[in-house]
Amino acid sequence: MKFIQSIKPGIPKRYLLFMAALVWTFAGGMLLFKGISLVSEIHDFLWLRMVMSIVGGSIFYILLFSKISLKHIGRILGLKNETPCMFSFFNIKSYLMMGMMITMGVFLRKSGIIPPAYLSTLYITMGIPLSLSAFRFYYHGFNFQRLINR
């Protein structure tokens, strides 16, 4: 067991929060970029679609992603090891969910089941809560000392 501990890529909890923030930023940014790049294929009701994306993304954040990100932050702060593995910002269930979401997104884009105009709305809607969750991780990373001294 000591051998495994000696080779694991351990980082302080504060940096683990920043690792999580970077992953969520990448995922949210990629979805926003893909969604915005597909906007050129939208010819009707562009403003309505954008408003729907912002409202939908905000609702997803409030009802789902804020709880998920807070749960991950609490788990990271509660880790017993002061230098946990740099991949422990997610638990196994979250890695599986992330893999499923990526697979589903690629499938939807490649299959053509959903027209690009609607796919752009979906991508933007999902990119918003991911990006907002990333900001929450950054906030907790920057305020780490204050949070653990409570």
C-alpha dihedral sign at 90, 57, 128, 42: positive
Tens-digit pLDDT profile for residues 120-144: 889 999 999 999 999 999 999 999 8
pLDDT in tens, 12-38: 999 999 999 999 999 999 999 998 888
Q: Which residue has the tokens 């409570």?
A: 150
Confidence of residue 150 (pLDDT cuts 50, 70, 90): low
Question: What pLDDT, on the 0 to 100 scale, is given for residue 1?
Answer: 56
| Separation between Cα atoms, residue 5 and residue 143, nearest integer Å | 28
Angle between helices 92-111 and 13-38 (to 10 degrees): 10
Q: What pLDDT, on the 0 to 100 scale, is given for residue 54?
A: 94
Q: Which helix (H) or strand (E) holds 66?
A: helix 66-77
